[in-house]
Every structure is written in structure tokens, then in C-alpha cells.
């Protein structure tokens, strides 16, 4: 199993500012996923981050709003830019098991509140 940590665990931010969320994995993984869980709702995929290439964004999510970096095989960041109260959510990173996509491990999440 993979151990995933995220920083910060939670934050309260002002409208118009940006927050960068870090995701650290204890093993090398090719693919990492970023999800958003809005209050009381399910998880929605934001983007897939592969090391050495541009992230692939899902419909409704754009790079200018959610820029992603993937500098190496154990680390990724997601930035929530120009935040509004609608961005208040839990943001989670996820990785598949090594050599298989039949299981995914999730980080503990970053709980973001935008005032």
C-alpha cells in the first residue's frame, strides 16, 4: 500500500487569493490524480498528473484555475487560483497501486474554506 500525505490539512483563505496544496507519496508512481469533494457531495476528478508531461484536465476544470506541477515521481502540487467561496471543498490526491490500476489510495485530503 502507498502512504500519502497532504499539506496543509486545512486552511481558511480570503477570496481572490491562491492556495497551493502539496501531495507526497512514499513510493514512485507514474500517475497521480487530484479530486475535489464539495460539501456534502461526492468526489469529482479535477485532473490526472503524469510526471514529465502536462496534466490532463477533466471537463469543467482548466489549467489557469487549477495549475498542477509534477516535478518527480513522488510529489505533486495543485494550486487553487483566484479563489471564491465556491472553491470551498476537500481536495484529495490519489495514486494507483504499483503496477496496477485495480486499486487507488487516497490522501487524507485538504479541507479548504474560502471566505
Partner 1 sequence: AQSVTQLGSHVSVSEGALVLLRCNYSSSVPPYLFWYVQYPNQGLQLLLKYTSAATLVKGINGFEAEFKKSETSFHLTKPSAHMSDAAEYFCAVRTDTGRRALTFGSGTRLQVQP
> For binding to partner 1 (CB under 8 A), which residues are involved?
31, 33, 41-45, 48, 92, 94, 96, 101-109
Sign of the C-alpha dihedral computed for residues 7, 9, 37 and 80 taken in this order: negative
The least distance separating partner 1 from the CB of residue 16, rounded to whole angstroms, comes to 27
Q: Which is nearer to partner 1, 42 or 53 (CB)?
A: 42
Q: Which is nearer to partner 1, 41 or 84 (CB)?
A: 41
Burial class of residue 30, CB neighbours in 10 A (0-12, 13-18, 19+): middle
Strands (E), the chain: 4-7, 10-13, 19-25, 31-37, 43-50, 56-57, 68-72, 75-80, 89-96, 104-106, 110-114
Q: Which is nearer to partner 1, 16 or 62 (CB)?
A: 62
The least distance separating partner 1 from the CB of residue 45, rounded to whole angstroms, comes to 5
The least distance separating partner 1 from the CB of residue 43, rounded to whole angstroms, comes to 5
The least distance separating partner 1 from the CB of residue 105, rounded to whole angstroms, comes to 8
Q: Which is nearer to partner 1, 50 or 69 (CB)?
A: 50
Amino acid at each position: 500500500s502507498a502512504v500519502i500525505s497532504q499539506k496543509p490539512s486545512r486552511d481558511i483563505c480570503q477570496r481572490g487569493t491562491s492556495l497551493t496544496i502539496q501531495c507526497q507519496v512514499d513510493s514512485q508512481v507514474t500517475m497521480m490524480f487530484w479530486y475535489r469533494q464539495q460539501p456534502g457531495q461526492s468526489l469529482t476528478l479535477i485532473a490526472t498528473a503524469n510526471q514529465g508531461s502536462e496534466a490532463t484536465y477533466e471537463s469543467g476544470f482548466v489549467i489557469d484555475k487549477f495549475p498542477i506541477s509534477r516535478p518527480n515521481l513522488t510529489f505533486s502540487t495543485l494550486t487553487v487560483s483566484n479563489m471564491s467561496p465556491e472553491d470551498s471543498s476537500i481536495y484529495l490526491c490519489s495514486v494507483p497501486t504499483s503496477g496496477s490500476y485495480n486499486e487507488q489510495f487516497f490522501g487524507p485530503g485538504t479541507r479548504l474554506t474560502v471566505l
